[in-house]
Amino acid sequence: MADSAFTFLPLGAIIQEFNIDGTNIVQGFRTQDDYVKHNSPFFGATVGRVANRLKNAQLENVNGQTYSLAANDAPNALHGGPQGWDKKVFAGPKAVSRGGKEGVFFKYVSKHGEENYPGTVEVRVWYTAGKEEGKTVLVTEYEAELVGDEVEETAVNITNHSYFNISGAPTIAGTTAQLATDLCLPLDDTSIPFGHVDRFSKVDVARPFVLGTKENEVDDCFLIETDPTKVPLDTRDQPVRLLGSFSHDDTKIHLEVYSTEPAFQFYTGNGIDVPAVNGVPARGKYAGFCVEPSRYVNAANVPAWRHMTLLKRGQVYGSKIVYKAWRDTQSAS
């Protein structure tokens, strides 16, 4: 990709740099080896085979059986397990043209039984960059197919786990955020949905609020589409909808996140704890915030939701994320 605003790594098809006018707005490390050793927060990574959590570390009623998974967020399975796709080295980056724009392509084949998930799945990732009305735009596209003949079906839910920091400082303090919805899936104390939709009550996220304070800590799943029957396995034909808008008065940097996905996890970086590594300072609480577009949390284990993550042989899973970022040079100094 000719656009020097971005760098990517084969490990986890990671977004390593997202530069806006000289400021890298994503958290990361200098080398791929540093990610291998220190990336417990999943900085920039492609997350799968199933992003977010699966209740009681189980994949239920798939191929007529229940698969036991690693409880790496006990009692639940988290982000595909301790050796999920974020830990795997993808083939790539390969320069491609996608939708008339320059991009890069990554591919990984996840074998049957990897982290005890059934079926051999090929996952494909495209990143394409461009400019739009002065904004730097990065489009992320995911695709997955069940390519093996071991089983008839498996579960897939992919997201990107970039941590954004547009403040130009060690934390996101002072960042103004506004989400496109306050509808959420209320979670139990292990972050598994109860199964109903409600309005988020801890913070008024649908109005501008400031990140980087204890009162405004969030780690919850918000819904753009509340009717699960309207969510296809491949969402790429759905409208690309705004999930959240962010800005910082000091840097004048703005970020908008869009997706075709029905839900997103919004996380204010409450638990980040990364030591100084290879000349990069330590990152702690509030070092970045995440917008993780995806399917509903634990969808594979909920009968009314499972169609959105259940991938059968001959089908294609797909999704799209769009990031738009810019510095407002018109703002008063």
Compute the residue count for the chain: 333
d(CA 247, CA 45): 23
Name the percent of the chain in helix, strand, coil, to the closest 5.
10, 45, 45
**Beta-carbon neighbour count of residue 278 at 10 Å?**
11
Put residue 119 in one of left, alpha, beta given phi > 0 → left and psi -120 to 50 → alpha. Answer: left
Catalytic, out of 161, 196, 248, 254: 161
Buried b / exposed e over 295-327, threshold 16 CB at 10 Å, is: bbbbbbbbeebbebbbbeeeeebbbbbbbbbbb
Does the annotation count 112 as an active-site position? no
Task: Read off the tokens for 94.
Answer: 């390969």
d(CA 62, CA 96): 35
Question: Which residues are catalytically annotated?
Answer: 161
